[in-house]
A and B are shown apart, each in its own frame.
Chain A
Amino acid sequence: MIAFRMPSLGADMENGKLIEWLKEPGDDIKRGDILAVVETVKGAIEIESFDEGVLEKHVATLGQSIPVGETLALIRGIGENSEEVDAGFRAESVSGDGAPKATPAARKRAHEASLDLAGITPGTDGVIGLEQVNAAISTMSEKPDADKTGATTKTKTVKPGLDLTVMRKSIGAAMARSKRDIPHYYVSSPIDCMALTDWLERENEKRSVAERILYAAPLIKAAALALLKTPNLNGFYTDEDFHSASGIHIGVATSLRGGGLIAPALHDADKLSVDNIMTHLRDLVGRVRTGRLRASEMSDPTVTISILGEDTADAVAPVIYPPQVAIIGCGSISKRPWVIDGDIKIRDIITVTVAGDHRVSDGRAAAQFLRHLSNAVQQPEEL
């Protein structure tokens, strides 16, 4: 029997609350299937399986806060015998202690509509099904203008299940640990990125709005290619030792409205085309906004990039997210006087700063990274 455990979704996580099962006992489980949804300070995270087999049984109870590493469910591996075969559907997504009984689909729908199951009247069988949830949703949308009439007091809109105060605390704890344990060094260069911005302008002019690219996409690709050449910026420092990562999974720092930050991973960024990176980026940001990230995206970035975006600030000296060993901070692009062959020209300049872990590398690695990045950015059509 394989234990399906609560994963660690980052250095700042100790436990997560199980809020939904997406697989029932008897269901076939393939690698990558999403089994459960867990609520953390970073919102609802989908937990996928890395094993194959058949779901034997749920071990953890819905609504419980479960420590990292604890068993959530048991999976019967291929070829293993069942202890107790119970393939038929049971309304097992149901917890014992007072929580309402509901089907997984209903639970999912209610969660998506930010409805509390406790406020929904179950069907005649005592279980809340999709029918009941849909009915509750339509009653909800029949009175959409409650705000205007002043019938309800307006509260600050924050994503359901996301407590920004708690998130601030956990970011604080992780960053304090980082600053205490990691001897940071910082290396920074302003980079002429006019070749990139000109290329983007030409590309985007040809494209319909849905196919356009933001400069973050080629910049991430350029950073991934530069990391290929500076492997001691890409990996983890664990057990008093550096473990260089085999893939380049770039955590893209995405800020949340109202404060807080999530850096889900863009996997194998060095192998993706710029268009592919843009598609993934759009998908990631969309899911950060709606609170549906996957566990692997939370747990396995091998390095982080923070791109400040337009009209923000010139430079950022970021703090490494442990157990990673480097973080790349990109300021906003702005027009600056720049000397080329003895002449002053107006060029688009981006200041890129690398924070590295001195236990693993020296400033020289970061300087090399910046040089490779700059070179890659000069030939955007090659990215």
Chain B
Amino acid sequence: MTEDEIMALARRALFEVAPDLEGESINPDESLRDQFEIDSMDLLNFFIKLHDGTGVDIPEKDYAQLATMSGVVAYLKSRLGAH
């Protein structure tokens, strides 16, 4: 998957979890929690969708690396590349 494809997938996952955000522009470097009042449940559902879309298992200890959209893309890219 290219970086753009991962970003598109992550955006789609976020909007599915929080349909009221559909169409919002996302600042890739600001934490999703701060930017959109995403709570723990939203975040968990977001990670589930990322897992479903990429097959990457995301252990709980790695959650901190996925706080921002650019973090999500970097993390998934490196995990996908490592396969």
Contact = CB atoms under 8 A, between A and B. Distances in A.
Interface of A: 147, 154, 157-159, 201, 204-205, 208-210, 212, 214, 216, 255, 257-258, 281-282, 285-286, 289-290, 309-311
A157 B23 contact: yes
B74 interface: no
Contacts of A289: 17-20, 42
21 contacts: A159-B19, A159-B20, A201-B60, A204-B60, A208-B51, A208-B57, A209-B44, A209-B58, A210-B48, A212-B44, A212-B60, A214-B44, A216-B41, A255-B39, A257-B18, A257-B20, A258-B37, A282-B41, A285-B42, A309-B40, A310-B40
Contact of B45 (A157, A204, A216, A286): A286
A329 to B, nearest CB: 16
Interface of B is mostly: helix
B45 A257 contact: no
Contact of B40 (A154, A201, A216, A258): A216
B22 interface: yes
Given A205-B60, A210-B51, A311-B33, A157 B20 contact: yes
Interface in B29-52: 33, 36-37, 39-42, 44-45, 47-48, 51-52
B81 interface: no
Nearest to A284: B41
Given A214-B41, A311-B33, A158 B60 contact: no
Contacts of A285: 39, 41-42
A11 to B, nearest CB: 25
Given A205-B59, A258-B37, A289-B42, 7 more contacts: A147-B25, A201-B60, A210-B48, A210-B51, A281-B41, A282-B45, A289-B19
Contacts of B42: 285, 289
A311 B58 CA distance: 21
B19 A290 contact: yes
Interface string B49-67: 0011000011110000000
A320 B52 CA distance: 40
Given A157-B21, A158-B20, A201-B60, A257 B41 contact: no
Contacts of B24: 157
Interface in B1-27: 17-25
B27 to A, nearest CB: 15
A210 to B, nearest CB: 5
Contacts of B37: 255, 257-258
Which 10 residue pairs are nearest across A and B when measured between Cβ atoms? A285-B41, A209-B51, A257-B37, A204-B60, A210-B48, A159-B20, A209-B47, A157-B20, A214-B40, A209-B48
A254 to B, nearest CB: 8
A257 B14 CA distance: 14
A214 B41 CA distance: 8
A252 B42 CA distance: 15
A248 B12 CA distance: 37
B70 to A, nearest CB: 19
Contacts of A209: 44, 47-48, 51, 57-58
B23 to A, nearest CB: 5
Nearest to B24: A157
A328 B13 CA distance: 33
Nearest to A312: B39
A203 B36 CA distance: 29
A312 B41 CA distance: 14
